[in-house]
Structure 1
Amino acid sequence: MGDYFQAGHRWKIRLREKGGQRRTVPVHHKAKEYLDAYLEEAGIQEEREAVLFQSLKGRTGELAGKRLKADNVLQMVKRRAEEAGFDPAQVTCHTFRATGITTYLENDGDLETAQHIAGHASANTTRIYDHRNERVDQEEIERVRI
């Protein structure tokens, strides 16, 4: 819980990334709404030493107090993707990274800031997640006359 905190008027989250790296980033207002709702439902908002994202006790729906493991996150993402009508084989946690970076750049964000938000050492890595050029409307494809 100590990794989600208020700093002045803003809320921030401390991310623990691969290789033991830690970064602190501002929390989007929508993410704050979701996090606050989760914390209220979980009943852990006052427990500063509690694990923020916890695993469940079997299929009980109760939090176990232990950190959520990466493979469990991936399984959850794939289940939710399928429930939303997406092919779970095409969705990974990195799908959200690509969507976030692409959406940010579509909304006039700049590559350097996207690189900083993503925690990439190189802008070339950030460009890998930029999928703006992959979107082609069906109408454009139908212009091809065979």
Structure 2
Amino acid sequence: MRAYLTDLGSLLAHLDDGGLGGLDISTLRAWLGEQHAAGLSRATLARRTACARSFTAYCYRRGWLASDPGLLLGSAKSPRSLPAVLDQEQARAALEPRGEGEAVDLRDQAMLELLYATGIRVSELCQLDVDDVDRGRRVIRVLGKGRKERSVPFGLPALRALDRWCVYGRPLWIKERTGAALFLGVRGGRIDQGTVRRVVHARLRQVEGAPDLSPHGLRHSAATHLLEGGADLRSVQELLGHASLNTTQIYTHVSIERLRAAFRQAHPRA
């Protein structure tokens, strides 16, 4: 909503005193041309184009415009940049336990292990409750975008880190307002996304040659390593909670070595 209001404010400022009477396809193109000349990214231009189309359609439905000029407005496809990821050695180094076993060390280790093991979003990690972890089956129940629920498996290293946190760390921070939250801040409340980001950045700074990634970078890395290990794209889509397979396909670029191996094995002229 904030983005929509910002875009709409820019469009109305461009109209100036002309009002809606001056809102036609030429005006829209001139407005977007100014944005392009100002150096706005293609992604921002695509969003502003979509905003303009929504607004002109609304005005037309209300009878404020005789026709809908937004129908004539084209939009350049926003390019998809390839995500930076850790290689498997860097991931292994990042997950080496640090600290002296204090509660904060146990919590940070458990969060990092779970982020990498499952590829969940940082928002999903912060929303986890203790009962969302099924230790027997080694799966967590995750509430993703659109409040869609999914189950995501995790491995033994993550289970051990979670057990250490829940037995030796979490009880030290429990307060009256703690509730069922799995990961806590030092004051006993549910952990916030900013804290998780700081933990991830701090840990990766300790790994030589590793890119500076956010928690989402660990998600990218997990998906990449799953594909490199032989997982099929549809399974990775389910694990990550992507609504569309097109979103998951961005990770296939990093599996070029698997593609080369398949080519060498299968092609008669390899």
For the Cα contact (< 8 Å) 2:144–2:241, is it kept in 1?
no
Aligned length: 122
Higher RCO by CA contacts (8 Å cutoff, separation 6 or greater) = 2
Aligned residue number for residue 169 of structure 2: 42
Question: Identity across aligned pairs (percent)?
Answer: 32
For the Cα contact (< 8 Å) 1:52–1:67, is it kept in 2?
yes
Aligned AA (2:204)? A
> Which contiguous aligned blocks of 4+ residues in structure 1 show a shift greater than 4 angstroms?
none
Quote the Cα distance in structure 2 between the aligned partners of 1:121 and 1:127.
12
SS state of the match for residue 24, structure 1? Answer: strand
Select the structure that is richer in helix: 2
Quote the Cα distance in structure 2 between the aligned partners of 1:100 and 1:106.
10
Structure 2 gaps, min length 5:
1-129, 258-270
Aligned AA (2:192)? K
Please point out which of 202, 214, 217 is paired with 1:95.
Answer: 217
Quote the Cα distance in structure 2 between the aligned partners of 1:29 and 1:93.
21
Aligned residue number for residue 4 of structure 1: 133
SS state of the match for residue 10, structure 1? Answer: coil
Q: Specify whether residues 129 and 69 from structure 1 end up closer, same or farther in structure 2 by C-alpha distance, changes over 3 A only.
A: farther
Aligned residue number for residue 41 of structure 2: none
Pair member with larger Rg = 2
Please point out which of 194, 199, 205 is paired with 1:82.
Answer: 205
Aligned AA (2:190)? R
TM-score of the two chains, using structure 1 as the length reference: 0.71
Aligned AA (2:255)? R
Shift of 1:124: 1.3
What is the alpha-carbon root mean square deviation over aligned residues? Answer: 2.5
Structure 1 gaps, min length 5:
57-63, 135-146
Select the structure that is richer in strand: 1
Shift of 1:13: 1.3
Q: Specify whether residues 93 and 43 from structure 1 end up closer, same or farther in structure 2 by C-alpha distance, changes over 3 A only.
A: closer
